[in-house]
Amino acid sequence: MANKVKTKAVKKEIKARKAKIAKHEGKLKGLKKLLKKAK
């Protein structure tokens, strides 16, 4: 039982981390686009 709860928490953590990374990459892509426009 405790094991199931643990896996759920881990999955949630991984999801949150992936979302954070995706957000960060999106920001980087946006910045690169802005830099290209600036040139």
- pLDDT greater at residue 5 or residue 22: 22
Q: What is the mean pLDDT of residues 24-36?
A: 89
- C-alpha 32/C-alpha 21 separation (Å) is 16
- C-alpha 23/C-alpha 2 separation (Å) is 32
Q: What is the per-residue pLDDT for 1?
A: 64
**Over the stretch 2-19, which tens digit does the pLDDT of each residue have?**
788 899 999 999 999 999
State the average pLDDT for the chain: 89
Q: How confident is the model at residue 35 (pLDDT cuts 50, 70, 90)?
A: confident
Q: How confident is the model at residue 34 (pLDDT cuts 50, 70, 90)?
A: confident
CA distances from 4 to 11, 12, 16, 18, 32 (A): 11, 12, 18, 21, 42
